[in-house]
Structure 1
Amino acid sequence: MNERHDIRRAAVAALVRAVLTHLAASEGKPRTGRMIDNQRWWRHSQETFLGIRPQAWDMPDDVPIVGWLDKFAEMADVRQAYAADSVLRDRVDTMIGAAGTRQARNFDWLLVQHIIEPMVVAKATYEFDERVFDRLFEAFDRGLASHQVHMVEFLPLNGFDSNKDVILLPDGVVLRRMTDRQMGAAIDQLAVPRMVGGSVNSVRISRFDQWALTSARTYPVVAGHTDPQASTAPAFPTLDGSARRVVTALRLVCGGSVVTTRPILAQADDEFPIVPSYTAIHSAFDSADNERPTLLMTDGLDQFRATYTALGSPHVEADRSLQVAIRRLVLAGSRNTDSDRLIDLSISAEALFIKRANLPRGTKGDKIAAGAANLLAAEADLNANNVEAFMKTLYQARNAEIHGDGQPYAPLRLVSGSPATSLREMLDDAERIMRRAVLLVLATDAPIPS
């Protein structure tokens, strides 16, 4: 450590000692414990978040007042010590953050927030603890002098879970469980749905709504009221394209109803909060059905990554019929009404199979059935004859729904040939067939004949 650092440490230590001595004389012992917090949500269990801080200091009324620390003679030495540093002097009582994200920060309140308050909470007394002080001061001094910050863009997922905590994708974006702070921001921005049973200070969030697609980038810290000419504001939002591919790949490989919601931008949780708040975009999004969550397990990771990569290849993006088939298959996964799901799956089948069947005669239903049977002929768990009969029945059901004929197509059967107990059960098999077919087409890694 250099001499200026040691001078800053000694000055801040003297100030903190003086403050704690004053508080001990006026109050005796601090009031600490669980307290209402209207600034953030705190995790109480896997699915419960409370607006209650588990351990906090009930400050005397004058402590949060701007300029309170300047009443102590030692504060002048602290200001002088920080003014002597060429970087830190520009971080005191000014606008600070990344370009486009700066906020006014009061130096005295930063000292209270990051040194005095956590010292009181750590010991639940007004005693000065050297080891606790050293830890807090070093984090404060180093953090305030940071030359760069990591800004994390995160796009929450609804209707998703995995037995992994972090999933890396080929282009550098990451699927991961949201941190508690990220969950708090997602709750505030209605980017995750609240379950029944919440209250003003309590919310329940399903475990299927606690993941996000994330990307982190580094930006220089900017202080003062004017951005340097060369400074660049954090790019945001940037995950739309990746999100579409992630949702599509997850739906194809795992099924379910996963969706992405609203993009949010915040500084990394483990850094000194140069950028203390977050930015969000209030975009519209579809809902997931948590009775049909998308579950990505370890044995599906390789296929998920391969599918995510294939979806970005130029010939796949240029294949119009395949894109229609994929889009309608994804839409079907989001439907809560069986009839809507049936129609979307049927359109997906038309787009995928009719051109590939290449049959000069026959109805659309015949071509879809033949195309499906031909493409899936090698699938061990799907009998080609059963697939053909199943897809014909599916298309008959589609026609009845389209024309408002009710359900003259009963009795329904599964692809195994056994009776279906409901249309939804049949649609589950139809979705499984369509997912398998699209994955086979993607795996060929060749342009589709026109």
Structure 2
Amino acid sequence: MATITRTALRVAVGIAATAATALSLTACGGSGGEPGGEGDGTFTILQYENPETAQGQGWQLALEIFKKKHPDVKVDFQTTSFDAMRQNAKITLTGDDVPDVIEFNKGNADGGQLAGQGLLAPLTEQVKKYGWDEKVKGSMQAFAQYDEQGLAGSGDWYGVPNIGEYVMFYYNKDLFAQAGITEEPTTLEEFEAAMDKLLAIGVTPISSSASTSQGFNQMWVWYSLVAAEADRTAIDDFMFLREPVDFSKDPWKAGADRFQEWIDKGYVGEQLGGLNFEQATVNFLSGEKAMLIWNQGEFFRIREQATFDWDYFTLPGANMQMGSSGHLWGVPANAKNKELAYDWIDITLSEEVQNKIGQLGGLPLAGDASTIEDDLTREYTERFNELVEADTLAFYPDYPVPGFLDFIQSHMQAMSNRNETADEYTEELQKFYDEGREAALAG
């Protein structure tokens, strides 16, 4: 990894910035378009990226390009939150007063339901016309396609991702040095030994969170430990409902048992039930916690705000790493400006926008990593490309069945509060997953 000392501003930015500018999902306004086009009035874009992230800045560039290309179109660029979009998507996409293009969450539990219920327009024809399948390749296509039952991995395209994602451990090199950790660990055993050294000097190794509202960190720790012991078949059976999954066996048992050990040893801290991922990030940036498990979403922010020397590594010694394609652009079935929506999606996949996202560490799917000037950012992007090429991304655990994210987060909180054991969790996990799988396969 590159060694770069970063001096950054101490400013409180994050999800609050997005919330401050958020607009009601139901207040999308009338859709419209260019004179003589499909609609008449306003072209509405609904998305939920923080404007300070690499992706959020990429969208702003795309917006500039779009407005220059369509000077007569009034554009309403709306920002909501991830949770609000998930909870209100069906209402937002029902009826005639809908956005023209939306960002939505991938997976059977979210995008699959919207596609299966006819709320999204199929994009297969446009994918071929614009050549999007030449830019979004391999496993990055898996959650863009859904069959008639709304199951991912095959069927028509209903969404188009622009970026990739993978989860890593950002770490404070100063705290590592204070603990006598001189090299990045290369195995899980070395990683745990490093965390023991951090605990010995009174430093919490991993800044985490377990709130049932956006307390994603603990879920990512647990699933990363599962993925560490998994192979492609085990992940795909779970993710795409291909074969029944026995959660009492490895890699599920091994991952849950190790996760409980990490909680008991104090690797992830205490009193996590009330913390969300934003607070976990702030705690890491404060210099109090040694590591933060997160994906590329905080890369630019950490690069700008960290007042200490930092770097990152993926989970040492793991067979698979958490990661996937990014969230999807989709076109509501009732959108009045579909042609403009297709053009918007195409612009977000353009070389100019993709390379802008890449420069900021956003992992573009159609960018050129060699154009990235910053060494750390380029290496970070190249690492993602390696994982895609090796087909070792394990996706995210909440995708397979409806309600899974809320279910998992609730149990992550219970385990983190030591109100539930690994065995109790996996037993409940088996029941919830099997019921959801049965319902999904029944259509």
Q: TM-score, normalised by structure 2?
A: 0.25
Higher share of residues assigned strand: 1
Larger relative contact order, structure 1 or 2 (CA cutoff 8 Å, min sep 6): 2
Give the TM-score normalised by structure 1: 0.24
Larger Rg: 1
